[in-house]
Amino acid sequence: EPEVTQTPSHQVTQMGQEVILRCVPISNHLYFYWYRQILGQKVEFLVSFYNNEISEKSEIFDDQFSVERPDGSNFTLKIRSTKLEDSAMYFCASSEDRGAPDTQYFGPGTRLTVL
């Protein structure tokens, strides 16, 4: 069964450093998403991406964040200058765009630890 994959599973970085989290969505999917979950808190939407542009973003997704689909398979989330409060589990998801309600399929997550 096709699945969303994410690398790395765990990333440790120093405050102020740039990180890139990588995702490979399911191959025929057209919508891509990033969510995050700070330890002990809700899963929060960050951004959705469709047709090579951002479709929707939350207030969390400020200028420190960017997304890119550099080739036909990868979808990345970049954090330019990490802060302690960026420590969280980051989930990538994708959906087919078959009409509402569209099922989003999630990857296993990348745990980001900012020291």
Partner 1 sequence: AQSVTQLGSHVSVSEGALVLLRCNYSSSVPPYLFWYVQYPNQGLQLLLKYTSAATLVKGINGFEAEFKKSETSFHLTKPSAHMSDAAEYFCAVSGSAGNMLTFGGGTRLMVKP
Binding site for partner 1 (CB under 8 A): 4, 31, 33, 35, 41-45, 48, 50, 55-56, 58, 91, 93, 95, 97-109
CA 91 to chain centre: 5
Q: Using only C-alpha atoms, what is the Rg of the chain?
A: 13
Specify the residue, 107 or 114, whose C-beta has the smaller distance to partner 1.
107
| Cβ at position 45, least distance to partner 1 in Å | 4
Specify the residue, 44 or 64, whose C-beta has the smaller distance to partner 1.
44
| Cβ at position 99, least distance to partner 1 in Å | 5
Whether omega for the bond prior to residue 8 falls within 30 degrees of 0, making it cis, is yes
Which token pair is 36?
A: 């995050």
| Cβ at position 18, least distance to partner 1 in Å | 25
Specify the residue, 77 or 93, whose C-beta has the smaller distance to partner 1.
93
Residue 105: burial class (beta carbons within 10 Å; 0-12, 13-18, 19+)? middle
